[in-house]
A and B are shown apart, each in its own frame.
Chain A
């Protein structure tokens, strides 16, 4: 019998709420956290909106030195990991170091620190020969985002395999998929798996401005993220982290752990098409969905809810709709599909793990979060996107998908643990 992977702990740091409970309440209430950017003066930028976390590292228990050492994204994932461990009921002492691993996704690493420190060593971009005498002591931890996995490993006392998985905006799905694989193959028994990003920084805002990928609904920030809506005009940048405790099923059962859901299947594909463009027919995403369902031994008919990538760009939402139709057939028109990015924005690599957390909570509560701001469907997006209000329904199987720069397309399937095998 092959080893199965279950989620036994969830930790979320997201815009609009400081922990998992607040996050779930917010997204099921259909509230949005997208606002005018407050971290810096957004006036010189095309897009001036983001979903920022109200996050106080000291209040979350990080020490002075940890706060100095860690980029905001590292702080997010350490706090989320601590929440997840506490939620799982696993005491750090109960973890076997050699059998515990870490897999953290991040698309853009310590961008915030690098942006800020570059401004200092270059004195505001004045010199190519930046001045090393102004470099902060822990700059190497920002130079390499692998430091994020190290911080989580130190927190948990994990000494098994540790890695950062960085596949652009599918990082959060791929990091969890990677962790599942390590448990299934027997390399680890427990994985702290998730993703983090804190990209609300001038360089990130500018680079998405340059390709007009982000929304310019600057006068209506709270309603700027409008996946599948006819009037959508791009994604809204977000930030945050989610970390899950994944365990091998038999040992999780032995200790009487709460089992949120099992991770039944994961697959990824590349479109080999364009670094930022999507093939309109969604064929690679569709193939990833089919492969993930096959691995789960589930059929399209079994899917109760689809947690969409739903970024709110013109091309993404059409691409994704095409992929769902291609992979799920008639079922695509019946199954509820929603995008929580409508409420918490798009936190790049982090969002995939935050969406997996939302998917697990949907199974836990039998509630599907809505797509906020969806007032008038794009005629080319003709599925049931759960507009505006959450829906109560039996949720046994959730498909969550992601799509990222570089052409990455990933799909993951979560199933209620006691679901009978197909």
Chain B
């Protein structure tokens, strides 16, 4: 039986350093950072001062007014990115045969700002003040539901929550749906938790950067690494069955050629991290050897111990300095579930344009033995890119994307 092949035909991006795919890509190639002092609320009382906020996003410019009171910021970003991705793909899912399109998204933590407002209404006022939209506006499934409704998408759909690995896990699942016969799936990730409660809820993990300078806040694979800068955003990708895409003459950014997910052993077990295995399984799934991988988009935790594990996994597969590695998320902060989806968009753009976006601000530490692309973008003929994403507690995901000749 023919194995259906999933290709990306549309991209939609709402990132801290660029609203819209073109703005994001231009900013990324020019090393323009979206990491700045937190402006959404007064963060002076908190140990974390920096964030990757999506700036200049006016919901009313992008969404019908009826959707605004019922959506968290995260969902507004997701809906906007989804509409852009579908426009970019040049397809209206509502015009496809019934059940021929699906939606699979990931969110790590749901709509926190909406949730905080309603918790305040509950505790600070009375139960009767809680919004009628609270029953769905904050929850993890809301982006899939809202995208489905807005675009008339009625086929197999889903929602995955695997912390920061979610962006790849969602797309990996979307590819599975395509293989099982759904011709088009809108996929990706969205997250925003840049409100006081969202920040306070993630502080205890001890991995947030406490620096004040945007240029030195988030420094993965650097001796100065001191945690991650939280960010927000959405990256949505339209995936299609390759034959269907070809038939309608769609532009194709690349193929989702391989994917795998693993989970790390229980802490203290003495067993090795599952990241290397995830990478090897994704390469095997794509039938690609390490020497055929042209660039790696790293998870780049910015936490020394996690950077060490990731570098070790990369080097065990590719050898020390064996492959160009980059982390454009140094310009956005970590967008949780949206982060890996944004990396996927960046990797597809890199392949399409023959250019590796840089890692900014980082002075690569010797110990990691990585060939990190820093400073300026690197022109290169790219056939393949490997993406790595890791989530809190031990989620590992790896994906191999391949250019379409």
Contacts and interface: CB of A to CB of B under 8 A. Distances in A.
B157 A140 contact: no
Contact of A164 (B118, B161, B198): B161
A207 B118 contact: yes
A162 interface: yes
Interface in B168-202: 169, 173, 176, 180, 193, 196-202
A312 B139 CA distance: 22
B47 interface: yes
Interface residues of A, number: 88
Contact of B139 (A108, A132, A158, A274): A108
Contacts of A125: 119-125
B119 A165 contact: no
Interface string B145-164: 11011011111111111110
Given A157-B265, A163-B160, A207 B119 contact: no
A135 B200 contact: yes
B193 to A, nearest CB: 8
B203 A146 contact: no
Residue of B103, B142, B157 ringed by the most chain A CB atoms within 10 A: B157
A128 B134 contact: no
B161 A163 contact: yes
A250 interface: no
B110 interface: yes
A135 B48 CA distance: 15
Interface string A107-143: 1110000110111011011101111100111111111
A153 B271 CA distance: 14
Residue of A98, A166, A213 ringed by the most chain B CB atoms within 10 A: A166
A282 interface: no
A406 B141 contact: yes
Nearest to B180: A181
Interface stretch (A3-11, A79-87, A265-273, A352-360): A265-273
B204 interface: yes
B119 A122 contact: yes
A193 interface: no
B161 A146 contact: yes
Contact of B197 (A121, A141, A149, A153): A121
A41 to B, nearest CB: 11
B330 interface: no
Contacts of B70: 275
Residue of A117, A126, A153, A185 ringed by the most chain B CB atoms within 10 A: A153
A168 B136 contact: yes
A284 B154 CA distance: 8
B145 A209 contact: no
A269 B99 contact: yes
B277 interface: yes
B127 interface: yes
Interface stretch (A18-26, A57-65, A198-206): A198-206
Contacts of B166: 146
Interface string B297-311: 000000000000000
Nearest to A205: B127
Contacts of B99: 269, 287
A287 B102 CA distance: 14
A233 to B, nearest CB: 17
B128 interface: yes
A208 interface: yes
B130 A272 contact: no
Contacts of B277: 98, 159
Contacts of A44: 126-128
Contacts of B163: 144, 146
A166 B126 contact: no
B146 A207 contact: no
Given A140-B205, A146-B393, A202-B122, A165 B148 contact: no
Nearest to B70: A275
B135 A276 contact: yes
B124 A102 contact: no
**Helix, strand, loop or mixed for chain B's interface?**
mixed
Contacts of B120: 122, 125, 128
A416 to B, nearest CB: 25
Contact of A143 (B118, B149, B196, B202): B202
B202 A140 contact: yes
Contacts of B198: 143
A406 B108 contact: no
Contacts of A202: 122-123, 127
A132 B193 CA distance: 15
Contact of A140 (B45, B148, B154, B392): B392
A221 interface: no
Interface in A146-186: 146-147, 149-150, 153-154, 157-168, 171, 174, 178, 181, 185
Residue of B98, B128, B161, B274 ringed by the most chain A CB atoms within 10 A: B161
A162 B261 contact: yes
Contact of A272 (B109, B148, B274): B148
B197 A118 contact: yes
Given A270-B145, A270-B155, A405-B139, A130 B161 contact: no
A17 interface: no
Given A154-B266, A272-B154, A122 B197 contact: yes
A407 interface: yes
A404 interface: yes
Interface string A43-58: 0111000000000000
B116 interface: yes
A167 B158 contact: yes
A168 B145 contact: yes
Interface of B: 41-42, 45-47, 70, 94, 98-99, 102-103, 108-110, 115-116, 118-128, 130-132, 134-136, 139-142, 144-146, 148-149, 151-163, 166, 169, 173, 176, 180, 193, 196-205, 260-267, 269, 271, 274, 277, 391-395
Given A128-B120, A161-B262, 4 more contacts: A44-B127, A122-B119, A140-B204, A181-B176
Interface of A: 44-46, 97-98, 101-102, 106-109, 114-115, 117-119, 121-122, 124-126, 128-132, 135-147, 149-150, 153-154, 157-168, 171, 174, 178, 181, 185, 187, 202-203, 205-211, 213, 267-276, 284, 287, 404-408
5 contacts: A117-B201, A153-B263, A270-B145, A270-B153, A406-B142
